[in-house]
Amino acid sequence: MNGRQARGWGITAHERTNTTTKKAANSIVGKLTAGILATAAVAATCLAAPAAQAASVLVVGDSLEVGSGPYLRHLLPGVTVDAEKGRTSSEGVRVLASRLDPSVEVIVFPLGTNDSPSNAGGLAANLAAVRQMAGDRCVVVATISRPPAGGVSVGAINRVVEQFAGRPAAQVADWRTVVASIPSLLVGDRVHATGDGYSVRATLLAEAVQGCLLGGASVGASGIPAPRDPNAGPPEAEGEPALVLSLDPLAALARAAFRPIAGAFLAARTAATKAGPEPVLGGP
């Protein structure tokens, strides 16, 4: 390329368009790649956090814990997981009352997804009942992520969860923020998770348990190693896509975050080269 061509002189309109498109594509890919590398660096730093110590933990959950339960059993040896599809927080209170015994040190009560978003007061009352039963035990809750029901979002429900978590002897697993940042952790209904998503959710809950055992000390975003047993994957739910096992929550986050970048790279490359589409990395 001579000096005139480098400045855009002496080239055809078609060549100028291709050059501009390629520059834009490179810029997009560069920015997206930088973003994922920064995210991965932060997550890798968080892996230095210590693993949760063994404790007597009782989990009362819904279908999200049906999925994350196998991972939790590896992360928290000896944990008891009582999970059932469609369980509301009021049903969870009754289950907790029947399952709680003096040996339990930490209660995990990540319910609320199946509650009515227009009845945040009901969740608040149920969490108050949990607090009363828990006594001085630490209680772990989770923020809620689901589409609006009847036009009502889960904003009020999440405020109740956050207020509860702001009190002594409580920890929160911020599921809503994680899946909002990486939507590919969820399946099409935007409620249930993929295999990677259940691994990440279990890690968040286990870290919150660790926070309880450390007396409220905070832990990193990926401080608990994921299960190593390839048979520990969540069961495939009827009518939902097959779940992919994740043996490492950091890898799960990286894969989920990289997929849209791979797609953007492909789109940018296709636009620059006018070539036909290629299979997306990690796609079926």
Cβ neighbours of residue 6 under 8 Å, at least 6 residues apart?
Answer: none
Q: Rounded to whole angstroms, how far apart are CA atoms 36 and 19?
A: 26
Q: What is the pLDDT of residue 215?
A: 82
User: What does the pLDDT read at residue 250?
Assistant: 57
Please provide the average confidence, as pLDDT, over all residues in the chain: 73
Alpha carbons 45 and 126: distance in angstroms, whole number = 37
**Measuring CA to CA, which residue among 202, 158, 200, 150 is closest to residue 176?**
158
* 16-46 per-position pLDDT tens digit: 444 333 333 344 334 443 444 344 334 333 4
- Per-residue pLDDT tens over the stretch 137-177: 999 999 999 999 999 999 999 999 999 999 999 999 999 99
Domain boundaries, the chain: 57-251
Report the pLDDT value the prediction gives residue 251, as an integer from 0 to 100: 55
What is the predicted pLDDT for the residue at 254? 55
pLDDT, position 55:
77
In this prediction, residue 201 carries a pLDDT of 98
Topology at the third CATH level for domain 57-251? Rossmann fold (3.40.50)
Residue-wise pLDDT tens digits, 46-99: 433 344 446 799 999 999 999 999 999 999 999 999 999 999 999 999 999 999
Place of tokens 């939902």: 240
3-state secondary structure of 125: helix
Structure tokens at 150: 């009847």
Sheet holding 57-61: strands in order across?
80-83, 57-61, 106-108, 138-142, 170-173
More confident site: 11 or 120: 120
Distances (CA, A) of 113 to 76, 85, 108, 158, 187: 23, 11, 15, 10, 15
Per DSSP, helices labelled H in the chain are 3-6, 13-46, 63-75, 89-99, 120-134, 155-165, 175-181, 195-213, 249-273
